[in-house]
Amino acid sequence: MPEVSRDNLREFVHRVASETPVLDIHTHVYSARFGRLLLYGLDELLTYHYLIAEVFRVAPLPYERFWGMSKSEQADYIWQHLFIEHSPVSEACRGVLTVLQAFGIDPKQKNLTSIRKHLSAIAREAYIDQVFKLSHVRRVIMTNDPFDDNERPVWEQGPEPDERFQAALRIDPLLNDWDGAVKRLAGWGYRVNGTLGTSDVAEVRRFLIDWVERMSPRYMAVSLPPDFTIPEDGPRAALIAGCVLPVCREAGIPFAMMIGVRRSLNPQLRLAGDGVGAADVTSVSRLCVAHPDNRFLVTMLARENQHELCVTARKHPNLMVFGCWWFLNNPSLIEEMTRIRLELLGTSVIPQHSDARVLDQLIYKWSHSRRIIADVLADKYLDLARAGWMPTEQEIRRDAADLFGGNFERFCG
Ligand code: FIX
Ligand code: ZN
């Protein structure tokens, strides 16, 4: 490739963005040692909760009938109604096609049996290797919940040996259901009584420290509802200030807050039944000011919060904005958010995470996002070129490396 010029700049930025290995800072995928918790393959792809919500719109049926089907039957149902009987233009549908294509499968053959056969012939370890290769992802950070009975025994057996997978200590049950958490903690031998007095605080810290030691997490994390505020009556704010932030500080890890999810708007849809609401960004600012020695990774679910969150990050170097979460992970919104972020924060952001639940989704989530991020970046470089600042090849590679992992590593310290 000749030196970068205005004529080939967009093409070059796209090439660099597609080749730069990604560190994906928030996923729900697991390494092989978690056994059945690691989801991959056609049936898992087609029964992704995003697609379940979509199929009930075009082909409603009694919820219990859908949940009573086997996974393959659910996948067939979704394929029939969302791909065959309608054009699969939604982002989640399109994602399935991108994955199939990456595996060398012609999705237009429409024959689910042969597609299923093709993918299920790949052994699990080979499947993992192939997905990492096809997606150019070098490492993923999992979501690891010590309150999860399927997951906890795996950690009790020892640390994560596969360095492509790192842990994030997820503590939703502790912060969002304190009464329930007290019972679980007491059952595991932590001397808590629910009053959040000195001894509760000490014991919750001990619990968190035990899990930090066990998981070596890159950060601690929680998802929060739209009405989350600081200050706040109730145990959550006290737990954050008294237990979570001191342990994060001591361990030298950030605290990630994913704010704006309204859980279980429609419980019948199970995982697909959650919604969104605008949240209070000032509370994020208050935490950053009150705890200058802590670092906060923050993503918000409502589109309405994105501009204010960027402005807030300008005020607080200990705040790192990340990802286009869930209902924002659509091309139009990724583009809008990436533009706002680059314009307000330069390259000091983590523009995307995949939130993949099924391993294969790393392929589509990253290929779709890389293209948009590259386009926005190219526009910004062309603006700079017009102002006499033609970026060099090396500068473009540096920026891509920062955006796709370097910023996270540096922020974590
Ligand atoms: O809380 C979260 O981490 C959310 O991302 C998930 O719970 C959600 O179901 C999801 O998969 C969104 O992409
Ligand atoms: Zn998630």
| Residue 312 placed within a domain | yes
- Ligand 1, atom 3, lies closest to the CA of 223
| Residue 4 placed within a domain | no
* Helix/strand/coil for 276: strand
pLDDT score, position 3: 84
| Residue 325 placed within a domain | yes
- Ligand 1, atom 1, lies closest to the CA of 223
Pocket (CB within 6 angstroms of ligand 1)? 28, 143, 223, 258, 271, 326, 355, 357
| Residue 95 placed within a domain | yes
DSSP string, 134-179: HHTEEEEE--B-TT-TTTHHHHHT-----TTEE--EE-HHHHH-HH
Ligand nearest to the CA of 26: 2
What domain range is 132 assigned to? 9-412
pLDDT score, position 190: 98
By most ligand atoms within 8 Å of CB, the mutation choice from 25, 26, 28 for ligand 1 is: 28
DSSP string, 5-42: -TTTHHHHHHHHHHHSPEEE-------GGGGGGSB-SH
Tens digits of residue pLDDT in 223-266: 999 999 999 999 999 999 999 999 999 999 999 999 999 999 99
User: Mean pLDDT for the chain?
Assistant: 98
| Residue 1 placed within a domain | no
Within 10 angstroms of residue 96's Cβ, the number of other Cβ atoms is 25
For residue 111, the CA-to-ligand 2 centroid distance in Å is: 31
Tens digits of residue pLDDT in 328-374: 999 999 999 999 999 999 999 999 999 999 999 999 999 999 999 99
Residue type, position 259, single letter:
I
Average pLDDT over residues 301-311: 99
| Residue 3 placed within a domain | no
By most ligand atoms within 8 Å of CB, the mutation choice from 355, 357, 364 for ligand 1 is: 355
Alpha carbon distance 23, 359 (integer Å) = 14
Alpha carbon distance 88, 58 (integer Å) = 12
Alpha carbon distance 92, 100 (integer Å) = 13
Residue type, position 338, single letter:
T
Tens digits of residue pLDDT in 78-134: 999 999 999 999 999 999 999 999 999 999 988 899 999 999 999 999 999 999 999
Ligand 1 atom closest to 143 (CA): 3
For residue 59, the CA-to-ligand 1 centroid distance in Å is: 24
CA distances from 92 to 46, 88, 241, 329 (A): 9, 8, 38, 9
pLDDT score, position 109: 86
Ligand 1 atom closest to 326 (CA): 13
Tens digits of residue pLDDT in 38-83: 999 999 999 999 999 999 999 999 999 999 999 999 999 999 999 9
Ligand 1 atom closest to 355 (CA): 13
Ligand 1 atom closest to 221 (CA): 3
Q: Above 90 in pLDDT, residue 1?
A: no
| Residue 125 placed within a domain | yes
CATH number of the domain that 363 lies in? Answer: 3.20.20.140
Ligand nearest to the CA of 24: 2
For residue 287, the CA-to-ligand 1 centroid distance in Å is: 23
Joined together, the tokens standing for residue 177 give 């259901």
Ligand nearest to the CA of 95: 1
CB of 275 closer than 8 Å to CB of 265? yes
For residue 222, the CA-to-ligand 2 centroid distance in Å is: 10
Q: Which residues contact 224 (CB under 8 A, 6 or more apart)?
A: 175, 176, 257, 258, 259, 260, 261, 279
For residue 168, the CA-to-ligand 1 centroid distance in Å is: 14
Average pLDDT over residues 297-320: 99
Domain count across the chain: 1
CA distances from 9 to 283, 339, 378, 385, 392 (A): 41, 18, 7, 10, 10
Q: What angle do CA 300, 229, 205 make, to 5 degrees?
A: 95
